[in-house]
């Protein structure tokens, strides 16, 4: 059977012992070469390195992990409808991991389920993950953070929130960014501005709402409750939330949606009602997903540096591992910026 496998042409896996034998040194010496130990004769090192290169030997990561008592797997935990965001995050994390021996293991979870906690616990303990990155809304769960601490699993939370714990948090200044966006609407002449808020319990939703309210307050514009509609960060919720805003008299001349999916919903709803964008209605979203440039007119939005934040999160995690005494100097707070596109114009003279 074993022989048969060989016959299938599979390369027989080399071990450190094979290399040691070929180089006529002890396995420990080979181990020293692999780990760049400084107390090695240059000659010996070269000899062993040559053989490693020739044979294409790669140390077994499982054995290494076992001996070292830690492994090289980073987990990404998410529950989020925004595919583009998650993929960008994955990309950022992987950029940071590139060239290291870390790999990224992913785990989408179902926030709706009561078993999330157990699910994640199983995830980190079963594989003994080195660390995890938590995406919203998981990152807002403090019990989860405690559990990870207990399990001895490092973590970094991604959030659009206050920076209560820089070591474990990478955040963007959503509040200020939204305030900027709304100031822009006000500068264009809008006074009746609707908000489609994100789900209750999401810190990002709350931050964005506060930014919205702040900008209006600054300008001395009153904000009747009716101008705030609840959304769920989904296209459909944006669609139905707009309906209620459209029914108001007078109708708002601009709407800020707490994410792009909902902004697209607003645009779609406007189209169905025959409301011209941007002439009769200005729209601003949040996230700068590709969707914003696919629809007509392209949507103004707030862009946050997802990839850079993912990279920073990963570096925070592994920094403590590879950090040679140097502190982790990754920035923890990132700035979002307003992207101006054709979905905003001054309100029609009324």
The residues that touch DNA, with contacts defined as CB under 7 A, are 13-17, 24-32, 34-35, 39-41, 43-45, 59-60, 63-64, 66-69
> Looking at 61-69, 134-142, 249-257, 302-310, which segment touches a second copy (CB under 8 A)?
61-69
Q: What angle do CA 110, 114, 116 make, to 5 degrees?
A: 50
Select from 61, 189, 199, 319 the one that contacts a second copy (CB under 8 A): 61
Indicate the length of the chain as a whole number. Answer: 350
CA distance linking residue 242 with residue 196, whole number of Å: 8
Beta-bridged to residue 122, according to DSSP, are none
Residue 241, token pair as written in the block:
């939330």
User: Which one of a second copy, DNA, none interacts with residue 245, CB within 5 to 8 A by kind?
Assistant: none
Neighbours of 112 (CB within 10 A): 8
What is the chain's percent helix, strand, coil content, to nearest 5? 45, 15, 40
User: Which one of DNA, a second copy, none interacts with residue 178, CB within 5 to 8 A by kind?
Assistant: none
CB closer to DNA out of 127 and 188 = 127
Asked whether position 113 contacts a second copy by CB under 8 A, the answer is: no
Please report how close the Cβ of residue 99 comes to DNA at its closest, in angstroms.
Answer: 17
User: Which one of DNA, a second copy, none interacts with residue 116, CB within 5 to 8 A by kind?
Assistant: none
Select from 24, 46, 103, 218 the one that contacts a second copy (CB under 8 A): 103
CB closer to a second copy out of 91 and 111 = 91
Asked whether position 190 contacts a second copy by CB under 8 A, the answer is: no
Select from 15, 31, 44, 151 the one that contacts a second copy (CB under 8 A): 151
Residue 134, token pair as written in the block:
């938590």
> Looking at 32-40, 162-170, 211-219, 292-300, which segment touches a second copy (CB under 8 A)?
292-300
Residue 110, token pair as written in the block:
């179902």
CB closer to a second copy out of 66 and 187 = 66
CB closer to a second copy out of 5 and 111 = 5
Select from 51, 196, 295, 313 the one that contacts a second copy (CB under 8 A): 295
Burial of 42 (0-12, 13-18, 19+ CB in 10 A): exposed
Please report how close the Cβ of residue 60 comes to a second copy at its closest, in angstroms.
Answer: 7
CA distance linking residue 212 with residue 258, whole number of Å: 10
Contacts of 22 (CB under 8 A, 6+ apart): 51, 55
In the chain the first and final C-alpha atoms are separated, in Å, by 85
> Looking at 37-45, 176-184, 218-226, 291-299, which segment touches a second copy (CB under 8 A)?
291-299
For CA atoms 140, 142, 147, 152, give the dihedral sign: positive
Cβ atoms 333, 163 nearer than 8 A: yes
User: Which one of a second copy, DNA, none interacts with residue 6, CB within 5 to 8 A by kind?
Assistant: none
Beta-bridged to residue 299, according to DSSP, are none
Which H helix or E strand runs over 7? helix 2-7
CB closer to DNA out of 27 and 191 = 27
CA distance linking residue 313 with residue 104, whole number of Å: 13
Please report how close the Cβ of residue 31 comes to DNA at its closest, in angstroms.
Answer: 3
CB closer to DNA out of 44 and 337 = 44
Contacts of 207 (CB under 8 A, 6+ apart): 160, 161, 174, 175, 178
Size of the site for a second copy (CB under 8 A): 50
Residue 325, token pair as written in the block:
């005494």
**Interface with a second copy by CB under 8 A: which residues?**
5, 8-11, 13, 58, 60-63, 65-66, 71, 73, 83-84, 86-87, 90-91, 94, 101, 103-108, 123, 125-128, 149-152, 235, 261, 264, 267-268, 271, 290-291, 293-296
């Amino acid at each position: 059977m074993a022989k048969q496998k060989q016959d299938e042409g599979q390369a027989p896996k080399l071990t450190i012992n094979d290399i040691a034998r070929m180089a006529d040194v002890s396995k420990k010496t080979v181990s020293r070469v692999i780990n760049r130990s400084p107390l090695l004769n240059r000659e010996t090192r070269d000899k062993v390195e040559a053989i490693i290169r020739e044979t294409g030997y790669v140390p077994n990561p499982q054995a290494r992990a076992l001996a070292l008592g830690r492994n090289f797997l980073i987990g990404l935990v998410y529950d989020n409808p925004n595919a583009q965001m998650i993929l960008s995050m994955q990309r950022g994390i992987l950029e940071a991991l590139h060239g290291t021996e870390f790999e990224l293991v992913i785990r989408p979870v179902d926030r709706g389920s009561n078993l999330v906690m157990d699910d994640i616990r199983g995830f980190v303990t079963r594989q003994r993950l080195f660390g995890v990155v938590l995406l919203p809304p998981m990152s807002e769960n403090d019990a989860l953070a405690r559990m990870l601490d207990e399990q001895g699993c490092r973590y970094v939370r991604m959030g659009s929130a206050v920076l209560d714990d820089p070591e474990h948090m990478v955040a963007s200044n959503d509040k200020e960014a939204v305030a900027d966006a709304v100031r822009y609407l006000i500068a264009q002449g809008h006074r009746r501005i609707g908000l489609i808020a994100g789900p209750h319990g999401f810190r990002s939703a709350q931050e964005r709402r506060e930014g919205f309210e702040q900008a209006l307050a600054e300008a001395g514009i009153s904000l009747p409750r009716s101008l705030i509609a609840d959304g769920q960060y989904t296209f459909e919720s944006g669609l139905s939330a707009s309906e209620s805003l459209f029914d108001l008299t007078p109708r708002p001349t601009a709407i800020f949606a707490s994410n792009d999916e909902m902004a697209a919903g607003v645009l779609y709803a406007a189209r169905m009602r025959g409301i011209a964008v941007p002439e009769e209605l200005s729209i601003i979203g949040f996230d700068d997903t590709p969707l914003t440039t696919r629809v007509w007119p392209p949507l103004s939005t707030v862009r946050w540096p997802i990839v850079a934040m993912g990279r920073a999160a990963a570096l925070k995690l592994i920094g403590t591992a590879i950090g040679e005494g140097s502190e982790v100097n990754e920035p923890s707070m990132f700035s979002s910026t307003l992207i101006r596109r054709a979905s905003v114009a001054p309100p029609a003279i009324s």
